[in-house]
Structure 1
């Protein structure tokens, strides 16, 4: 994935479109930071942040339920 990002950035830079490279890299950063979300992020980069929010919500729900069971 990093190689793909580098190629996209390199191509955009050679075609005088550095803002395109920056925009695509910004969309890909959450995917690079959270490898477990890589597949949904690769399929739909614009859903990276809601995807992260849903994972955090699920994690919070799990902690809440484990506290109630105790």
Structure 2
């Protein structure tokens, strides 16, 4: 039973990472995509914003997949 609970928690956290990564990369689920997220990064002083947005979105997307797989 404990393994099922851990699997459920891992899946939920992984889906959240996938959700936010897809918002940054593709603009899905009400996100702003790379361009909009890049503008936000530049507004807080992170330059170049588009590169930071792409890297953070990719990191979240890949992390979510690996988290779900249990890596």
TM-score w.r.t. the length of structure 1 is 0.35
- RCO comparison, higher one (Cα < 8 Å, 6+): 2
Larger Cα-atom Rg: 1
